[in-house]
Amino acid sequence: MTDIRKIIIDTDPGQDDAAALMLAFASPAELEVLGVTVVAGNVPLSYTSRNARIVCELSGRSDMPVYEGAVKPLERPQVTAEHVHGKTGLDGAEVPEPVMRVQAQNAVDFIVETLRREPAGTVTLCTLGPLTNIAMALMQAPDIAPRVRELVMMGGGFFEGGNITPAAEFNIYVDPQAADIVMKSGIPIVMMPLDVTHQLLTTKARVQRIAALGTRPAEVMVQWLQFFERFDEEKYGSDGGPLHDPTVIAYLLKPELFSGRDCNVEIETRSELTVGMTVVDWWRVTDRPANARFMRHVDADGFFDLLIERFGRLG
C-alpha cells in the first residue's frame, strides 16, 4: 500500500498545466492535493487563477482550494506566452467561466502555513510555472525549506537548449532570481527539463486515444491540446507538441518512467544573452555540489499510457 503523498501544485495554466492538474485529480489513491497556488506565467495572474478554477471544476473538484500568488516576477519585467497558449491561456475549447471562488488567503501565506502545520518532510511542492511564489515563501519563512519533502519542477533545459531564448526555458526565464533562490534552498529538487519533455509529443495517435475516452474532460483536453500543440508543431516540424507539465505528476505516480543524474544546477541571472539558463554540471567538471536530480530520459509510451488511463477516470 503506497502512502498517499501530500502535494501543493503551483501553476500558471496553460493547457499543459491543465493536463498535469487533471492527472493529479485523477489519482486520489496516491496524491492528496492540499491546494493549488497560481502564479503569473503563461498568462497574467487573473487568467491563471481563472484557468486553475476551470480545470478544478472540469475535473469535478470545485472543492479544491485555489490561492492567488505573485502577479509578477521578483525583479525582471513580466513575460507571458499568449503566442503559445492563446489570450486566455486555455484557448482551444469553449468552457464556462468558473463558479468557484479563490481563497481569501494569499498563495505565499498558504504555502508557508501549510509547510509549518504539516509534519516535516511530508509535503511535496509541484511547480509547473515560474518559481516566484516558492521563492517568496522561502524569503518570508526560511524555516520552511527543511520541512519540504521534495520539490518536483517542470523547468530548465541543457542539452536541448531553451524554448523562449536559445539558452533558457520559459519557467526559469520568467523569474531567474526566484529560480536561483529555489536552487540554493537545500530542498531536494527533481527537475523535469525540456530534455525530457521534448520526448513527450502529443502525436495524433495519442490525442486520438484521449478522444476515444468519450468523456467531457477528455473532449476538452483534446481541444486544448490541439490548440496548444500547433505552435510547437510549426516550430519543430513535429507530429504534436511537447507535453511539459504532467511530467511532474507522472514522476510522483511512476518515478520509474524517468531517469537522470544528481547534478549541480546553477541559474544565470545577469547576462542578457543567457539569462534564465540552467547551467547543468552533468559531467561533474566542477566541485560544485549536486543540488538537483536532472532528468534526461523518459519512457514516452509508458508516460502516455499512464496519462490516458488516468484521464479515463475523470468525468
Residues that bind ligand RIB (CB under 6 A): 12, 14, 16-17, 41-42, 128-129, 154, 163, 169-171, 244-245
By the 8 A CB rule, do 32 and 7 touch?
A: yes
Residues annotated as catalytic (active site), given as ranges: 244
**Distance in Å, CB of 63 to Ca ion, minimum:** 23
Q: Which residues are CB-contacts of 65 (< 8 A; sequence separation ≥ 6)?
A: 35, 36, 103, 110
3-state secondary structure of 124: strand
**Distance in Å, CB of 117 to ligand RIB, minimum:** 28
Residue 62: closest CA among 70, 52, 72: 52
Question: Which of the choices ligand RIB, Ca ion, none does residue 162 contact, using the CB cut-off of 5 to 8 A by kind?
Answer: none
Sign of the CA dihedral with 276 first, then 298, 201, and 47 last: negative
Q: Does 155 bind Ca ion (CB under 5 A)?
A: no
Amino acid at 62: S
- DSSP classification of residue 40: S
Q: Return d(Cα 15, Cα 17) in angstroms, integer.
A: 5
Closer by beta carbon to ligand RIB, 170 or else 311: 170
Task: Please report where in the chains the cell 483536453 appears, as a residue.
Answer: 221
Kindly write out the interface string for residues 15-54 of this chain, putting x where it contacts Ca ion by CB under 5 A and - elsewhere: --x-------------------------------------
Closer by beta carbon to ligand RIB, 12 or else 68: 12
Q: For residue 207, give the C-alpha cell.
A: 490525442
Q: Return d(Cα 12, Cα 237) in angstroms, integer.
A: 26
Closer by beta carbon to ligand RIB, 180 or else 245: 245
Question: Which of the choices Ca ion, ligand RIB, none does residue 39 contact, using the CB cut-off of 5 to 8 A by kind?
Answer: none
Q: Does 169 bind Ca ion (CB under 5 A)?
A: no
**Distance in Å, CB of 147 to ligand RIB, minimum:** 25
Closer by beta carbon to ligand RIB, 132 or else 171: 171
Q: Does 128 bind Ca ion (CB under 5 A)?
A: yes
Residue 199: closest CA among 96, 297, 59: 297
Q: Does 157 bind Ca ion (CB under 5 A)?
A: no
Kindly write out the interface string for residues 243-262 of this chain, putting x where it contacts Ca ion by CB under 5 A and - elsewhere: --x-----------------
Residue 225: closest CA among 314, 93, 130: 93
Q: Which residues are CB-contacts of 235 (< 8 A; sequence separation ≥ 6)?
A: none
Q: Does 129 bind Ca ion (CB under 5 A)?
A: yes
**Distance in Å, CB of 287 to ligand RIB, minimum:** 30
Size of the site for Ca ion (CB under 5 A): 6
Q: Which residues bind Ca ion (CB under 5 A)?
A: 12, 14, 17, 128-129, 245
